[in-house]
């Protein structure tokens, strides 16, 4: 599916993560934060600094930097929290799914005005109990959509008029009309339907030219799509469970890709010794700086 990139994909951290996810590049620190959800770990990768890992008491699933304050905002099992890795200090915020013990938070990102959008899923990835939430800079939390098997994404078009969000369990990439100023979604529609051969649409990012990059869980690849959904480029990885991607590096021209080892048989792990690693590939296209949380 699509053109193959001639550059090589390199494993830059043989982390053997159970469920590597949520990569986000810190321009300030020139480092990549990413998580291992099931091992309850936050990682920081840098070519210049030592690698760091922080251990949590519950699942940590996504992360963004704070705009005005030191530290990060993260999603934990049932809600949002501030976390300052340098202290380290955790401060819990809205917990919208404490009443759903079978659910947990999954993927999340900030929009251009500094709101944090994050989705949930059924821990067993079976029941359609996942919802999409938006945490505003004033720390109020709203449910924006529901009925998902497994939420992943979100990502925004270059003009900020479209938001993409995935129901990975059903192989669907949805598009919404996005009102940036109001933080509202409307006109939910199917943007892409993955086939079994495509795997499941997982984490996503967009580049400076408006291309949408989607990780293919179960199919060992990342694809770049145009505004109509057409595949423009394919990157193959030596791992089947590709979970997310984000641009980083000094010029935002390195695509970082997270992977997972959870659920693989001993035979599969033998064929995929780098499963759960963090990968990087140099790109001709640049990404855009990750949005920060303004609360």
Give the Cα separation of 217 and 235 in Å (integer): 13
What's the confidence (pLDDT) of residue 50? 85
Considering the entire predicted model, what is its pTM? 0.96
What's the confidence (pLDDT) of residue 6? 45
What's the confidence (pLDDT) of residue 101? 95
Residue from 111, 145, 167, 202 carrying the catalytic annotation: 202
The answer for residues whose C-beta is within 8 angstroms of residue 111's C-beta and 6 or more apart is 117, 156, 160, 163, 178, 180, 183, 291
CA distances from 280 to 45, 246, 275 (A): 11, 10, 14
Element (H, E) at 266: helix 266-271
With CA atoms as reference, report the closest residue to 197 among 216, 214, 178: 216
Long-range pairs for 266-271: beta carbons < 8 A, 24 or more residues apart: 268/240
What's the confidence (pLDDT) of residue 153? 95
What's the confidence (pLDDT) of residue 49? 78
Long-range pairs for 50-54: beta carbons < 8 A, 24 or more residues apart: 51/13, 52/85, 54/83, 54/85, 54/88
pLDDT by 10-residue block (mean), the chain, 295 residues: 59 97 96 98 91 97 96 98 96 97 97 98 93 98 97 97 97 98 98 98 97 98 98 97 98 98 97 98 97 97
Give the Cα separation of 22 and 291 in Å (integer): 14
Give the Cα separation of 181 and 83 in Å (integer): 27
With CA atoms as reference, report the closest residue to 255 among 213, 227, 291, 295: 213
The answer for residues whose C-beta is within 8 angstroms of residue 99's C-beta and 6 or more apart is none
Element (H, E) at 187: strand 184-193
Residue 180 near residue 113, CB atoms below 8 Å:
yes
Residue 15 near residue 274, CB atoms below 8 Å:
no
What's the confidence (pLDDT) of residue 57? 97
DSSP state of 69: S
Judge whether 207 counts as a catalytic residue. Answer: no
What's the confidence (pLDDT) of residue 4? 41
Residues forming beta bridges with residue 236, ordered by sequence position:
221
CA angle in degrees (0–180, nearest 5) for 57-58-64: 105
């Amino acid at each position: 599916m699509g053109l193959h990139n001639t550059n090589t994909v390199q494993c830059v951290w043989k982390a053997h993560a159970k469920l590597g996810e949520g990569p986000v590049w810190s321009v300030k620190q020139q480092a990549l934060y990413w998580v291992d959800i099931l091992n309850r770990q936050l990682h920081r990768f840098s070519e210049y600094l030592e690698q760091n890992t922080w251990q949590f008491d519950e699942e940590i699933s996504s992360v963004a930097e704070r705009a005005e304050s030191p530290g990060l905002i993260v999603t934990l099992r049932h809600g949002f929290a501030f976390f300052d890795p340098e202290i380290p200090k955790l401060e819990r915020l809205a917990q919208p799914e404490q009443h759903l013990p079978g659910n947990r938070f999954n993927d999340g990102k900030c929009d251009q005005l500094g709101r944090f959008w994050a989705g949930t899923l059924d821990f067993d990835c079976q029941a359609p109990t996942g919802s999409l939430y938006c945490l505003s800079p004033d720390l109020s939390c709203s449910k924006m959509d529901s009925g998902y098997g497994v939420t992943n994404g979100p990502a925004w078009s270059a003009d900020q008029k479209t938001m993409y969000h995935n129901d990975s369990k059903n192989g669907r990439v949805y598009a919404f009309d996005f009102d940036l100023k109001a933080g509202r979604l409307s006109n939910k529609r199917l943007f892409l339907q993955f086939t079994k051969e495509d795997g499941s649409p997982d984490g996503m990012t967009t580049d400076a030219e408006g291309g949408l990059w989607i990780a293919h869980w179960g199919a060992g690849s990342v694809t770049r799509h145009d505004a109509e959904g057409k595949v423009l480029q394919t990157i193959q990885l030596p791992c089947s469970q590709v979970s997310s991607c984000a641009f980083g590096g000094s010029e935002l021209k390195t695509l970082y890709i997270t992977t997972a080892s959870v659920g693989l048989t001993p035979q599969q792990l033998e064929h995929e010794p780098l499963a759960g690693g963090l990968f990087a590939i140099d790109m001709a296209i640049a990404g855009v700086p990750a949005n920060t949380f303004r609360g």
